[in-house]
Amino acid sequence: MGSQTPLKLPVIDFTKPDLKPGTIEWDLVKGQVKQALQEYGCFEALFDRIPLDVRETIFGALEELFDLPLQTKIRNVSKKPYHGYVGQYPQAPLYESLGIDDANIIEKVEAQTRTLWPDGNKSFSNIIQSFSKQLSESDQMIRRMILESYDLEKYMDEHMDSTNYLLRLMKYKGPKTTKTKLGLHSHTDKNIVTILYQNEVEGLEVQTKDGKWFDVKPSKGSFIVMIGESLHAWLNGRLHAPYHRVMMSGDKARYSIGLFSIPKGGYTIKAPDELVDEAHPLLFKPFDHVQFLGFYYTEAGQKAESALKVYCGVQN
Protein backbone atom coordinates (compact mmCIF):
# COMPACT_ATOMS: atom_id res chain seq x y z
CA MET A 1 0.00 0.00 0.00
CA GLY A 2 1.20 3.51 -0.77
CA SER A 3 1.77 5.91 2.09
CA GLN A 4 -0.85 8.59 2.64
CA THR A 5 0.10 12.21 2.02
CA PRO A 6 0.43 13.95 5.40
CA LEU A 7 -2.33 16.45 6.16
CA LYS A 8 -1.30 20.08 5.73
CA LEU A 9 -3.17 23.27 6.48
CA PRO A 10 -4.12 25.52 3.53
CA VAL A 11 -1.72 28.45 3.05
CA ILE A 12 -3.40 31.79 2.29
CA ASP A 13 -1.42 34.78 1.00
CA PHE A 14 -2.52 38.18 2.35
CA THR A 15 0.51 40.03 0.99
CA LYS A 16 -0.96 40.82 -2.44
CA PRO A 17 -0.83 44.58 -3.14
CA ASP A 18 -4.42 44.86 -4.43
CA LEU A 19 -6.04 43.14 -1.46
CA LYS A 20 -8.83 45.63 -0.85
CA PRO A 21 -12.60 45.07 -0.42
CA GLY A 22 -14.41 44.90 -3.74
CA THR A 23 -11.41 43.76 -5.79
CA ILE A 24 -11.01 40.44 -7.58
CA GLU A 25 -8.03 39.60 -5.34
CA TRP A 26 -10.13 40.27 -2.21
CA ASP A 27 -12.94 37.99 -3.38
CA LEU A 28 -10.47 35.25 -4.29
CA VAL A 29 -8.78 35.31 -0.87
CA LYS A 30 -12.16 35.63 0.87
CA GLY A 31 -13.27 32.39 -0.78
CA GLN A 32 -10.08 30.65 0.34
CA VAL A 33 -10.63 31.84 3.93
CA LYS A 34 -14.22 30.57 4.02
CA GLN A 35 -13.29 27.18 2.58
CA ALA A 36 -10.34 26.67 4.95
CA LEU A 37 -12.33 27.65 8.04
CA GLN A 38 -15.27 25.44 7.10
CA GLU A 39 -12.99 22.45 6.56
CA TYR A 40 -10.21 22.86 9.14
CA GLY A 41 -11.23 25.80 11.34
CA CYS A 42 -7.74 27.22 10.76
CA PHE A 43 -5.14 28.00 8.09
CA GLU A 44 -1.57 29.19 7.64
CA ALA A 45 -1.40 32.88 6.76
CA LEU A 46 1.26 35.01 5.08
CA PHE A 47 1.11 38.61 6.36
CA ASP A 48 3.41 41.50 5.52
CA ARG A 49 1.97 44.06 7.96
CA ILE A 50 4.52 43.35 10.71
CA PRO A 51 8.01 44.68 9.93
CA LEU A 52 10.80 42.09 9.79
CA ASP A 53 12.76 43.77 12.61
CA VAL A 54 9.74 43.40 14.94
CA ARG A 55 9.38 39.72 14.05
CA GLU A 56 13.09 39.08 14.60
CA THR A 57 13.27 40.77 18.01
CA ILE A 58 9.98 39.70 19.59
CA PHE A 59 11.19 36.28 20.68
CA GLY A 60 14.14 37.93 22.43
CA ALA A 61 11.57 40.02 24.33
CA LEU A 62 9.76 36.81 25.32
CA GLU A 63 12.98 35.24 26.60
CA GLU A 64 13.63 38.35 28.70
CA LEU A 65 10.09 38.15 30.08
CA PHE A 66 10.13 34.48 31.02
CA ASP A 67 13.59 34.80 32.59
CA LEU A 68 12.05 37.02 35.26
CA PRO A 69 11.66 35.43 38.72
CA LEU A 70 8.38 33.60 39.37
CA GLN A 71 7.47 36.06 42.15
CA THR A 72 7.63 38.83 39.53
CA LYS A 73 5.68 36.98 36.82
CA ILE A 74 2.77 36.19 39.17
CA ARG A 75 2.14 39.94 39.45
CA ASN A 76 0.55 39.55 36.02
CA VAL A 77 -3.04 39.20 37.26
CA SER A 78 -6.49 39.72 35.79
CA LYS A 79 -10.09 39.51 36.99
CA LYS A 80 -10.91 37.56 33.84
CA PRO A 81 -10.18 33.81 33.81
CA TYR A 82 -6.99 32.83 32.00
CA HIS A 83 -5.97 36.42 31.24
CA GLY A 84 -3.16 36.70 33.80
CA TYR A 85 -0.12 34.53 34.56
CA VAL A 86 -0.64 30.80 34.08
CA GLY A 87 1.98 28.31 35.18
CA GLN A 88 3.02 25.75 37.78
CA TYR A 89 0.24 23.42 36.58
CA PRO A 90 0.88 19.73 37.41
CA GLN A 91 -1.16 18.76 34.32
CA ALA A 92 1.06 20.87 32.03
CA PRO A 93 4.45 21.26 33.73
CA LEU A 94 6.21 22.43 30.56
CA TYR A 95 3.84 25.37 29.99
CA GLU A 96 3.63 28.91 31.32
CA SER A 97 2.13 32.08 29.88
CA LEU A 98 1.31 35.71 30.60
CA GLY A 99 -1.50 37.85 29.24
CA ILE A 100 -1.61 41.48 28.19
CA ASP A 101 -5.10 42.96 27.82
CA ASP A 102 -5.69 45.65 25.17
CA ALA A 103 -2.23 44.87 23.83
CA ASN A 104 -2.76 47.09 20.78
CA ILE A 105 -3.02 50.22 23.00
CA ILE A 106 0.39 51.53 24.14
CA GLU A 107 -0.83 53.08 27.44
CA LYS A 108 -2.38 49.76 28.51
CA VAL A 109 0.77 47.82 27.57
CA GLU A 110 3.01 50.24 29.46
CA ALA A 111 0.82 50.02 32.58
CA GLN A 112 0.99 46.22 32.58
CA THR A 113 4.71 46.26 31.82
CA ARG A 114 5.32 48.35 34.95
CA THR A 115 3.86 45.56 37.11
CA LEU A 116 6.78 43.42 35.90
CA TRP A 117 9.46 46.11 35.61
CA PRO A 118 8.55 48.92 38.08
CA ASP A 119 10.70 51.42 36.15
CA GLY A 120 9.09 50.34 32.90
CA ASN A 121 10.67 48.60 29.93
CA LYS A 122 10.17 50.81 26.91
CA SER A 123 11.65 48.47 24.32
CA PHE A 124 9.45 45.59 25.54
CA SER A 125 6.29 47.75 25.60
CA ASN A 126 6.94 49.17 22.14
CA ILE A 127 7.55 45.84 20.44
CA ILE A 128 4.51 44.19 22.11
CA GLN A 129 2.21 47.08 21.16
CA SER A 130 3.54 47.35 17.60
CA PHE A 131 3.20 43.60 17.03
CA SER A 132 -0.34 43.56 18.48
CA LYS A 133 -1.56 46.63 16.59
CA GLN A 134 -0.38 45.35 13.23
CA LEU A 135 -1.75 41.87 13.87
CA SER A 136 -5.10 43.28 15.05
CA GLU A 137 -5.49 44.86 11.60
CA SER A 138 -5.02 41.41 10.04
CA ASP A 139 -7.63 40.01 12.44
CA GLN A 140 -10.12 42.67 11.36
CA MET A 141 -9.46 41.99 7.68
CA ILE A 142 -10.14 38.28 8.14
CA ARG A 143 -13.30 38.92 10.15
CA ARG A 144 -14.52 41.35 7.47
CA MET A 145 -14.03 38.62 4.87
CA ILE A 146 -15.96 36.14 7.03
CA LEU A 147 -18.93 38.46 7.48
CA GLU A 148 -18.98 39.30 3.78
CA SER A 149 -18.95 35.57 2.97
CA TYR A 150 -22.25 35.15 4.84
CA ASP A 151 -23.83 38.44 3.68
CA LEU A 152 -23.67 39.89 7.19
CA GLU A 153 -22.22 43.31 6.30
CA LYS A 154 -24.95 45.11 8.25
CA TYR A 155 -23.46 43.65 11.47
CA MET A 156 -19.91 44.74 10.61
CA ASP A 157 -19.57 47.76 12.93
CA GLU A 158 -21.27 46.05 15.85
CA HIS A 159 -19.15 42.93 15.39
CA MET A 160 -15.85 44.83 15.26
CA ASP A 161 -16.78 47.02 18.23
CA SER A 162 -17.80 44.00 20.35
CA THR A 163 -14.24 42.79 20.93
CA ASN A 164 -10.91 43.81 22.36
CA TYR A 165 -7.51 42.11 22.14
CA LEU A 166 -5.63 39.85 24.52
CA LEU A 167 -2.03 38.97 23.70
CA ARG A 168 -0.82 35.76 25.35
CA LEU A 169 2.92 35.18 25.53
CA MET A 170 3.69 31.48 25.92
CA LYS A 171 6.70 29.33 26.74
CA TYR A 172 6.97 25.54 26.61
CA LYS A 173 10.12 24.10 28.16
CA GLY A 174 11.88 21.41 26.18
CA PRO A 175 11.27 18.09 27.99
CA LYS A 176 14.87 17.00 27.29
CA THR A 177 13.72 13.70 25.84
CA THR A 178 13.15 12.28 22.39
CA LYS A 179 9.79 10.99 23.59
CA THR A 180 6.87 13.32 23.01
CA LYS A 181 5.45 14.99 26.13
CA LEU A 182 2.27 17.01 26.54
CA GLY A 183 2.91 20.74 26.38
CA LEU A 184 -0.72 21.88 26.44
CA HIS A 185 -3.82 19.69 26.61
CA SER A 186 -6.35 19.35 23.80
CA HIS A 187 -8.81 22.26 23.74
CA THR A 188 -10.78 24.63 21.55
CA ASP A 189 -10.28 28.38 21.88
CA LYS A 190 -13.27 30.17 23.38
CA ASN A 191 -12.85 33.58 21.71
CA ILE A 192 -13.57 34.96 18.21
CA VAL A 193 -10.32 34.58 16.21
CA THR A 194 -6.83 33.54 17.34
CA ILE A 195 -3.66 34.41 15.41
CA LEU A 196 -0.57 32.45 16.48
CA TYR A 197 3.10 33.13 15.80
CA GLN A 198 5.85 30.76 16.94
CA ASN A 199 9.61 30.36 16.95
CA GLU A 200 11.33 27.56 15.04
CA VAL A 201 10.44 24.88 17.63
CA GLU A 202 7.39 22.94 16.46
CA GLY A 203 4.74 21.20 18.54
CA LEU A 204 1.30 22.45 17.52
CA GLU A 205 -1.16 19.73 16.48
CA VAL A 206 -4.71 20.18 15.14
CA GLN A 207 -7.54 17.66 15.07
CA THR A 208 -9.61 17.23 11.93
CA LYS A 209 -13.40 17.04 12.01
CA ASP A 210 -13.19 13.24 11.84
CA GLY A 211 -10.83 13.02 14.81
CA LYS A 212 -7.39 12.67 13.18
CA TRP A 213 -4.48 14.61 14.73
CA PHE A 214 -1.82 16.11 12.47
CA ASP A 215 1.29 18.24 12.96
CA VAL A 216 1.16 21.90 11.99
CA LYS A 217 4.51 23.00 10.59
CA PRO A 218 4.24 26.63 9.49
CA SER A 219 6.96 28.08 7.33
CA LYS A 220 9.29 30.62 8.93
CA GLY A 221 7.58 33.97 9.42
CA SER A 222 4.03 32.74 8.78
CA PHE A 223 1.06 32.72 11.17
CA ILE A 224 -1.72 30.31 12.11
CA VAL A 225 -5.26 31.74 12.09
CA MET A 226 -7.83 29.77 14.10
CA ILE A 227 -11.55 30.08 14.86
CA GLY A 228 -12.80 30.16 18.45
CA GLU A 229 -16.08 28.87 19.86
CA SER A 230 -17.62 32.34 20.26
CA LEU A 231 -17.43 32.90 16.50
CA HIS A 232 -18.59 29.32 15.88
CA ALA A 233 -21.67 30.07 18.01
CA TRP A 234 -22.31 33.53 16.53
CA LEU A 235 -22.25 32.05 13.01
CA ASN A 236 -24.63 29.28 14.19
CA GLY A 237 -22.09 26.56 13.46
CA ARG A 238 -21.13 27.66 9.94
CA LEU A 239 -17.40 27.60 10.76
CA HIS A 240 -15.49 24.91 12.61
CA ALA A 241 -13.65 25.64 15.90
CA PRO A 242 -10.89 23.00 15.95
CA TYR A 243 -9.41 21.11 18.86
CA HIS A 244 -5.67 21.62 19.10
CA ARG A 245 -2.82 20.83 21.49
CA VAL A 246 0.94 21.20 21.91
CA MET A 247 3.23 18.14 22.06
CA MET A 248 6.90 18.70 22.90
CA SER A 249 10.16 16.80 22.49
CA GLY A 250 13.86 17.69 22.52
CA ASP A 251 15.79 20.28 24.50
CA LYS A 252 14.78 23.63 23.02
CA ALA A 253 12.08 25.88 24.47
CA ARG A 254 9.11 26.70 22.26
CA TYR A 255 7.98 30.32 22.34
CA SER A 256 4.60 31.22 20.94
CA ILE A 257 2.51 34.40 20.79
CA GLY A 258 -1.25 34.43 20.41
CA LEU A 259 -3.42 37.44 19.62
CA PHE A 260 -7.01 36.70 20.66
CA SER A 261 -9.98 38.84 19.64
CA ILE A 262 -12.20 38.52 22.75
CA PRO A 263 -15.86 39.47 23.16
CA LYS A 264 -16.20 42.28 25.70
CA GLY A 265 -17.88 41.51 29.01
CA GLY A 266 -21.56 42.40 28.87
CA TYR A 267 -21.80 41.85 25.11
CA THR A 268 -24.33 39.15 24.19
CA ILE A 269 -23.27 36.64 21.55
CA LYS A 270 -26.40 35.83 19.57
CA ALA A 271 -26.59 34.26 16.11
CA PRO A 272 -28.04 36.68 13.51
CA ASP A 273 -31.56 35.81 12.37
CA GLU A 274 -30.25 35.42 8.80
CA LEU A 275 -28.29 32.32 9.87
CA VAL A 276 -31.19 30.52 11.55
CA ASP A 277 -33.71 28.58 9.43
CA GLU A 278 -35.20 25.10 9.05
CA ALA A 279 -31.99 23.74 7.56
CA HIS A 280 -29.89 25.49 10.24
CA PRO A 281 -31.81 25.47 13.56
CA LEU A 282 -30.40 27.59 16.39
CA LEU A 283 -27.49 25.76 18.07
CA PHE A 284 -26.76 28.00 21.06
CA LYS A 285 -28.78 30.32 23.27
CA PRO A 286 -27.45 33.88 23.58
CA PHE A 287 -24.58 34.11 26.08
CA ASP A 288 -21.96 36.39 27.61
CA HIS A 289 -18.40 35.26 26.84
CA VAL A 290 -16.95 36.22 30.25
CA GLN A 291 -19.72 34.34 32.07
CA PHE A 292 -19.18 31.34 29.81
CA LEU A 293 -15.44 31.40 30.63
CA GLY A 294 -16.37 31.38 34.31
CA PHE A 295 -18.34 28.16 33.73
CA TYR A 296 -15.62 26.63 31.54
CA TYR A 297 -13.10 26.78 34.39
CA THR A 298 -15.42 25.05 36.88
CA GLU A 299 -15.16 21.30 37.48
CA ALA A 300 -18.31 20.71 35.39
CA GLY A 301 -16.97 22.85 32.54
CA GLN A 302 -13.62 21.05 32.50
CA LYS A 303 -15.27 17.62 32.49
CA ALA A 304 -17.69 18.41 29.67
CA GLU A 305 -16.88 17.15 26.18
CA SER A 306 -18.26 20.49 24.94
CA ALA A 307 -18.54 23.12 27.67
CA LEU A 308 -20.35 25.45 25.26
CA LYS A 309 -23.08 22.88 24.53
CA VAL A 310 -23.55 22.18 28.23
CA TYR A 311 -23.61 25.90 29.05
CA CYS A 312 -25.95 27.20 26.36
CA GLY A 313 -26.62 24.50 23.76
CA VAL A 314 -30.12 24.18 22.28
CA GLN A 315 -31.61 20.68 22.18
CA ASN A 316 -32.78 20.33 18.56
16 vs 216, higher pLDDT: 216
Model pLDDT, residue 264: 93
Count how many residues are written for the chain.
Answer: 316
Model pLDDT, residue 78: 86
**Domain around 23:** 11-273
- Supply the CATH number for residue 250's domain: 2.60.120.330
User: In this prediction, what percent of the chain has a pLDDT beyond 70?
Assistant: 98
The residue among 246, 249, 241 whose CA lies nearest residue 205 is 246
pLDDT, mean of residues 34-42? 97
Q: CA–CA separation, 215 vs 230, rounded Å?
A: 25
The residue among 22, 186, 50, 61 whose CA lies nearest residue 130 is 50
pLDDT above 90: residue 229: yes
Q: Is residue 168 part of a domain?
A: yes
pLDDT above 50: residue 136: yes
Q: Is residue 286 part of a domain?
A: no
Model pLDDT, residue 316: 59
Q: Is residue 315 part of a domain?
A: no
Model pLDDT, residue 54: 85
- Give the gyration radius of the chain's Cα atoms: 19
pLDDT above 80: residue 49: yes
pLDDT above 90: residue 315: no
Look up the pTM and report it: 0.95
Q: Is residue 16 part of a domain?
A: yes
Q: Is residue 109 part of a domain?
A: yes
**What is the CA 48 to chain-centroid distance, rounded?**
19
Q: Is residue 255 part of a domain?
A: yes
Banded pLDDT at 205 (limits 50, 70, 90) = very high
Counting the structural domains of the chain, the total is: 1
What are the distances in angstroms from CA 283 to CA 236, 238, 271? 6, 10, 9
Q: CA–CA separation, 176 vs 253, rounded Å?
A: 10
Q: Give 99-115 pLDDT, tens digit per residue.
A: 999 999 999 999 999 99
Model pLDDT, residue 51: 82
Q: Give 239-290 pLDDT, tens digit per residue.
A: 999 999 999 999 999 999 999 999 998 999 999 999 999 999 999 999 999 9
Q: Is residue 295 part of a domain?
A: no
Least confident of 6-15, 74-83, 164-173, 214-223: 74-83
Q: CA–CA separation, 12 vs 241, rounded Å?
A: 18
Q: Is residue 180 part of a domain?
A: yes
Q: Give 292-306 pLDDT, tens digit per residue.
A: 999 998 999 989 989
Model pLDDT, residue 4: 59
Banded pLDDT at 2 (limits 50, 70, 90) = very low
pLDDT, mean of residues 186-193? 95
| Average pLDDT value for the chain | 93
pLDDT, mean of residues 178-182? 88
Model pLDDT, residue 79: 82
